[in-house]
A and B are shown apart, each in its own frame.
Chain A
């Protein structure tokens, strides 16, 4: 075993209200620059929907991530020599039109327009050409199912559904959607790094943050197509790719990343996971049905003294181990097993996990003209029990998103989520028959105490419970191998160059 630490994340989708505060927080800090106007390291998309960039999940189109061939792992795009052959032209690169053409408005016109009969208007102008444009797409063009007959119907995950199921999704009474906030997953087996011919993308050993060196990037743009989540972005102004840095300067000073800190729905959790790096290759090659379980298996118990000893021998600090023991991510992902990775079939071992949204129960007007919740007709007062089968979004759709199509794995998660709700109802409203509750809890395999703990961490966690940030001790780490004396009276904080091309 080769125990390493990874700063990982959980997004609780039931809590996301789709407000985009996270995206704006990130944009303001990191990407409000020429060349990156179109790029949203954090974005929130509506599901069902095609997302941003459009159809990013469709690897027939972008050839991102890994594939298994003859038991071996290969980049879906090309082999090593093939990648070099694609340097002159990357056949799978999205263009800016797959995202959107960034624009601004001529606000000055509002003040400078000559006196006239009409209201002055601020026309949109393209940030690429400076010419006025007709806006045809934006970062969230299909938000809240807007234009769903054009966009949402192309969602690649809907391919798993039958035609009737798909048609049913369009009926007004059945309309349903949820939000999917996305950042870089800081994967254990990042395809972005593997695809970069210049070797500019690396994983930090101590905390697993995946970074892209601006000095080493040579504009070969293989990471853009290589990342199956489309979470590296090409800065067309500087000719460098850029990606989410998990706000490492904030983490190093003990603060949560900006999108986490700003999240209005408080859906985000951040903490340390210990994992066995020696198993990465094996897990990345696991069969599709086993991917989720295998990745979970890679995560080791921070309470286990054996794991702790191995971690210490790998140089993991005691503070890091303590953070791992208190990690909310560990609880969601491993202890309670209610958080799942997004599209594990891309085989990058993403380290951002999602608690899937509780499915709305189907309801409608029955023959007598009364409003009826499905599953209650036969006198069953607990429609939640039947909800899984009667849910408006077929389980297969969620399985396609979170478990590489393994329906029983999603089902298990939902059984637990429903059990938590009924356990809490039994405690607070006291109208759930004991036998029903008992059956639910045994079925889903959680104890009443666990249900209470899940409910607490879901609904009323404190700031400190949501973000357990270990001291990353970056300064000490650098000082330990670079002689600070050597640099005495030299350059102070060091030289800094603006990220502009001077040639």
Chain B
């Protein structure tokens, strides 16, 4: 029963909240739709924490997502022992970097008075959940070897079944509790996404790569409005 709650009901709840509240917030409170950068108040510790955190977690996350999207290609990739070793070891290394970075970021917010004053309850909650989730992932990778392989026939079909609205928790319900907690943690982060600074994840300004440098906005010329200068 608790498995159903954790692995079938909660994921839907989380995704629906993320979409519903996320869109509502975008439409009604676009002003706050970003992270609240504190680099202006403290830069040194942030450099070590923020840069390493973002690169490490983005790489780890993309491994999780790529395996989910292209399971057969991923299976071919990790089928070869050397590649599997390299992948798992770099994963462990990145996890260590991510944990270290989070600890720096948390310590920074605790010790620097300026940043401390600016940290909301949601920021603390988010940092805590992220830390637990990354620590848990690191522990699982150590204790239950070859996650890059067993992930493919447990979590991947389970999430696919969720996606196709035919939840089949039997793919994962036999797994140890800690593994299930790691799964639920992922959806907890999805749940927290629209309420926290995590929203900055979807505002990455990729359009900058091709938009003209200068924006000129006209009020007149309703029909042939020239928006761009160059």
Chain A contact residues, CB within 8 Å of chain B: 80-81, 83-84, 87-91, 93-96, 128-131, 189-190, 193-194, 197-199, 201-206, 214-221, 224, 234, 236-240, 277, 280-281, 315, 474, 477-478, 480-481, 497, 499, 501-503
* Chain-A contact segment, one of B86-94, B138-146, B148-156, B203-211: B203-211
- Is the CB–CB distance between A197 and B208 below 8 Å? yes
**Alpha-carbon separation in the docked complex, A218 to B205 (Å):** 9
- Is the CB–CB distance between B220 and A502 below 8 Å? no
- Is the CB–CB distance between B217 and A205 below 8 Å? yes
**Alpha-carbon separation in the docked complex, A96 to B114 (Å):** 11
Chain B contact residues, CB within 8 Å of chain A: 25, 29-43, 46-47, 50-51, 53-55, 113-114, 116-118, 122, 195-196, 199-200, 203-209, 211, 213-222, 226, 229-230
- Is the CB–CB distance between A477 and B219 below 8 Å? yes
- Is the CB–CB distance between B220 and A480 below 8 Å? yes
- Is the CB–CB distance between A480 and B34 below 8 Å? no
Q: Contacts A94-B40, A199-B215, A205-B226 known; list 12 others, CB within 8 Å.
A: A81-B209, A90-B39, A91-B47, A128-B113, A194-B213, A198-B205, A203-B214, A218-B203, A477-B220, A497-B29, A501-B31, A503-B32
Q: Of A131, A193, A501, which contacts B214 at CB under 8 A?
A: A193
**Alpha-carbon separation in the docked complex, A84 to B55 (Å):** 13
- Is the CB–CB distance between B35 and A219 below 8 Å? yes
**Alpha-carbon separation in the docked complex, A237 to B41 (Å):** 11
Specify which chain A residues have a CB less than 8 angstroms from the CB of B226 in the assembled complex.
205
Question: Lowest 3 CB-CB distances: which A-B pairs, in order?
Answer: A205-B218, A481-B222, A194-B213
Specify which chain B residues have a CB less than 8 angstroms from the CB of A197 in the assembled complex.
205, 208
Which partner residue on chain A sits nearest B122 by CB separation?
A503
- Is the CB–CB distance between A88 and B51 below 8 Å? yes
Q: Of A93, A131, A277, A481, which contacts B229 at CB under 8 A?
A: A277
**Alpha-carbon separation in the docked complex, A214 to B53 (Å):** 28
- Is the CB–CB distance between B216 and A202 below 8 Å? yes
Specify which chain B residues have a CB less than 8 angstroms from the CB of A236 in the assembled complex.
38, 40-41, 118
Asked if A96 meets B41 with Cβ closer than 8 Å, knowing A219-B36, A480-B220, the reply is yes
- Is the CB–CB distance between A199 and B207 below 8 Å? yes
- Is the CB–CB distance between A203 and B219 below 8 Å? no
**Alpha-carbon separation in the docked complex, A198 to B200 (Å):** 12
**Alpha-carbon separation in the docked complex, A128 to B209 (Å):** 36
Specify which chain A residues have a CB less than 8 angstroms from the CB of B36 in the assembled complex.
219, 238-239, 501
Q: Of B29, B209, B214, which contacts A80 at CB under 8 A?
A: B209
Give, as a whole number of angstroms, the nearest-CB distance from A455 to chain B. 38
Give, as a whole number of angstroms, the nearest-CB distance from A479 to chain B. 10
- Is the CB–CB distance between A95 and B218 below 8 Å? no
- Is the CB–CB distance between A128 and B216 below 8 Å? no
- Is the CB–CB distance between B32 and A201 below 8 Å? no
- Is the CB–CB distance between B40 and A96 below 8 Å? yes
Give, as a whole number of angstroms, the nearest-CB distance from B154 to chain A. 32
- Is the CB–CB distance between A87 and B220 below 8 Å? no
**Alpha-carbon separation in the docked complex, A480 to B223 (Å):** 11
- Is the CB–CB distance between B208 and A80 below 8 Å? yes
Which partner residue on chain A sits nearest B229 by CB separation?
A277
Which partner residue on chain B sits nearest A215 by CB separation?
B30
Which partner residue on chain A sits nearest B196 by CB separation?
A503
Specify which chain A residues have a CB less than 8 angstroms from the CB of B117 in the assembled complex.
128-130
Asked if A202 meets B217 with Cβ closer than 8 Å, knowing A89-B39, A95-B43, A502-B29, the reply is yes
Which partner residue on chain A sits nearest B54 by CB separation?
A88
- Is the CB–CB distance between B208 and A206 below 8 Å? no
Specify which chain A residues have a CB less than 8 angstroms from the CB of B39 in the assembled complex.
89-90, 93, 95, 221
Specify which chain A residues have a CB less than 8 angstroms from the CB of B218 in the assembled complex.
204-206
Specify which chain B residues have a CB less than 8 angstroms from the CB of A215 in the assembled complex.
30-31
**Alpha-carbon separation in the docked complex, A239 to B209 (Å):** 23
**Alpha-carbon separation in the docked complex, A195 to B125 (Å):** 33
- Is the CB–CB distance between A199 and B40 below 8 Å? no
Which partner residue on chain B sits nearest A206 by CB separation?
B219
Asked if A218 meets B40 with Cβ closer than 8 Å, knowing A84-B205, A202-B216, A206-B218, the reply is no
- Is the CB–CB distance between B203 and A89 below 8 Å? no
Specify which chain B residues have a CB less than 8 angstroms from the CB of A130 in the assembled complex.
117
- Is the CB–CB distance between B211 and A199 below 8 Å? yes
Specify which chain A residues have a CB less than 8 angstroms from the CB of B118 in the assembled complex.
236-237
**Alpha-carbon separation in the docked complex, A56 to B204 (Å):** 29
- Is the CB–CB distance between A131 and B209 below 8 Å? no
Q: Of B38, B51, B54, B220, which contacts A315 at CB under 8 A?
A: B220
- Is the CB–CB distance between A95 and B40 below 8 Å? yes
A–B complex contacts, Cβ < 8 Å, 11 sampled: A80-B208, A81-B209, A84-B208, A89-B39, A91-B47, A93-B40, A96-B114, A194-B213, A199-B205, A203-B216, A234-B37
Give, as a whole number of angstroms, the nearest-CB distance from A61 to chain B. 13
**Alpha-carbon separation in the docked complex, A197 to B213 (Å):** 9
- Is the CB–CB distance between A89 and B32 below 8 Å? no
Specify which chain B residues have a CB less than 8 angstroms from the CB of A481 in the assembled complex.
219-220, 222
Specify which chain A residues have a CB less than 8 angstroms from the CB of B217 in the assembled complex.
202-205
**Alpha-carbon separation in the docked complex, A216 to B31 (Å):** 7
Specify which chain B residues have a CB less than 8 angstroms from the CB of A88 in the assembled complex.
50-51, 53-55
Specify which chain B residues have a CB less than 8 angstroms from the CB of A194 in the assembled complex.
213-214
- Is the CB–CB distance between B34 and A218 below 8 Å? yes
Give, as a whole number of angstroms, the nearest-CB distance from B199 to chain A. 8
- Is the CB–CB distance between A198 and B203 below 8 Å? yes
